[in-house]
Structure 1
Amino acid sequence: MEIILKSELTCPNCGRQKVEAMPTEACQFFYECENCKTVLRPKEGDCCVYCSYGSVPCPPIQKNSGCC
C-alpha cells in the first residue's frame, strides 16, 4: 500500500483549504490557519490535525501502526 504524504487541511473556522506535506515520523498537534490565524488542534480521539481536518489521515494511521 502506498502511503500518501500530502493532505488538504480545511480550517473549520473560515473554510480555507491548503495542501500540506505531512511529517512521516511524528504527529502534528498544532496548525495555524494562514487566513484567519485560528490554531487548529486535534479533535478528541484523533492523534493529529491531519486526522481531524485533513483529506488524508497521517502516515502512521495509514500504515495501521497506531497513533504517533
Structure 2
Amino acid sequence: MIDGYAQIGKSEEAFATFLKMLDGGVEPTRVAMMAALHACADLSDLERGRFVHKLVIQKKLDFEVP
C-alpha cells in the first residue's frame, strides 16, 4: 500500500501509512522502507529521509542487489 501511494505521487499518504505501520508494531519490509524513502525524496523532506535511513541501519536491512 505504501509503495502504491508513492508510485502515484501521494507521498504524504505513503509516509503517513508507513508511520501508522510502525506505530502498530509492524516490522517494515525492504519494499516498505524503499517506498518510504521514495516518498521522502518526492517531498524533498530530508528530516523524514534521515528518519527512514536510521531505521534501515537499525534494522540492518541489506539493499544490495546480488
| TM value normalised by structure 1 | 0.33
| TM value normalised by structure 2 | 0.33
Query: Which structure shows the bigger proportion of residues in strand conformation?
Result: 1
Query: Which structure shows the bigger proportion of residues in helix conformation?
Result: 2
